[in-house]
Structure 1
Amino acid sequence: MVPVLLSLPLLLGPTVLQETGTYSLIFLYTGLSRPSKGSPRFQATAFLNDQAFFHYNSNSGKAEPVGAWSQVEGMEDWEKESHLQRAREEIFLMTLKDIMDYYKDSAGSHTFQGMFGCEISNNRSSGAFWRYAYDGEDFIEFNREIPAWIPLDPAASNTKLKWEEEKVYTQRAKAYLEEECPAMLKRYLNYSRSHLDRKAPPTVTITSHAAPGRKRIFRCLAYDFYPQRISLRWNRASKMMASGPGQGVFPNGNGTYLSWVEVEVPPQDRDPYFCHIEHNGASQSLSVQWDETKRAKAESQVVALPQ
Structure 2
Amino acid sequence: MAPVLLSLLLLLGPAVPKETQAGSYSLSFLYTGLSRPSEGFPSFQAIAYLNDQPFFHYNSESRKAKPLGPWSQVEGMEDWEKESELQKAREDIFMVTLNDIMDFYKDKEGSHTFQGMFGCELQNNESSGAFWRYAYDSQDFIKFDKEIPAWVPLDPAALNTKQKWEAEEVYVQRAKAYLEEECPGMLRRYLPYSRTHLDRQDSPSVSVTSHVAPGQKTTLKCLAYDFYPRGIGLRWTRAGDTQETESGGDVLPSGNGTYQSWVVVGVPPQDQDPHSCHVQHSSLAQPLTVPWDARQEARAEGEVGTQAQ
TM-score category of the 2 structures, normalised to the smaller one: 0.7 to 0.9
Structure-2 residue corresponding to 1:6: none
The TM-score, its normalising length taken from structure 1, stands at 0.87
TM-score (norm 2): 0.87
1:275 matched residue in structure 2: 277
Structure 2 counterpart of 1:258, from 245, 257, 260: 260
For residue 140 of structure 2, the aligned residue among 121, 135, 138 is: 138
Report the Cα distance in structure 1 between the residues aligned to 2:260 and 2:162, rounded to whole angstroms. 41
Q: 1:35 aligns with which of 24, 34, 37?
A: 37
CA RMSD for the aligned pairs?
Answer: 1.6
Amino acid at match of 1:162: K
Structure 2 unaligned runs (5+)?
1-21, 305-309
Deviation at 1:239, TM superposition (A): 2.7
Within 5 Å, give how 1:71-86 maps onto structure 2: 71-86=73-88
2:36 partner amino acid:
R
CA contact (8 A) 1:200 1:282 kept: no
Q: What's 2:16 paired with?
A: none
1:296 to 1:131, Cα distance in 2 relative to 1, 3 A? farther
Partner of 2:96: 94
Task: Write the distance in 2 (CA, Å) between the matches of 1:39 and 1:50.
Answer: 22
Deviation at 1:243, TM superposition (A): 2.6
Select which of 214, 217, 225 maps to 1:215: 217
Answer yes or no: is 1:224 the counterpart of 2:242: no
Partner of 2:4: none
The count of aligned residue pairs is: 279
- Counterpart residue number, 1:60: 62
1:238 Cα offset (Å) = 2.6
CA contact (8 A) 1:206 1:218 kept: yes
Q: Which is worse superposed, 162-171 or 223-232? A: 162-171
Q: Which runs of 5+ in 1 are unaligned?
A: 1-19, 299-307
Alignment of 1:93-242 (within 5 A): 93-242=95-244
Deviations 1:216-267 (A, max 9, x none): 1101010111111111111112333233211111111111111111111111
CA distance in 2, matches of 1:223, 1:297: 31
Q: Letter of the aligned partner of 1:175 in structure 2?
A: A
**In the alignment, what sits opposite 2:249?**
247
Report which of the two has the higher share of helix: 2
Cα distance in 2, alignment partners of residues 95 and 168 from structure 1:
20
Higher relative contact order (CA 8 A, sep 6+): 2
Distance 2:123 2:41 in 1: 37
User: Which residue of 2 is the match for residue 5 of structure 1?
Assistant: none
The list of structure 1 runs, each at least 4 consecutive aligned residues, that deviate by more than 4 angstroms after superposition, is 293-298
Q: What code does the residue aligned with 1:243 have?
A: T
Higher gyration radius (CA): 2
Question: Conserved in 2, the CA contact under 8 Å of 1:215 and 1:265?
Answer: yes
Match of 2:47 in 1: 45
Q: Supply the AA of the counterpart residue of 2:210.
A: S
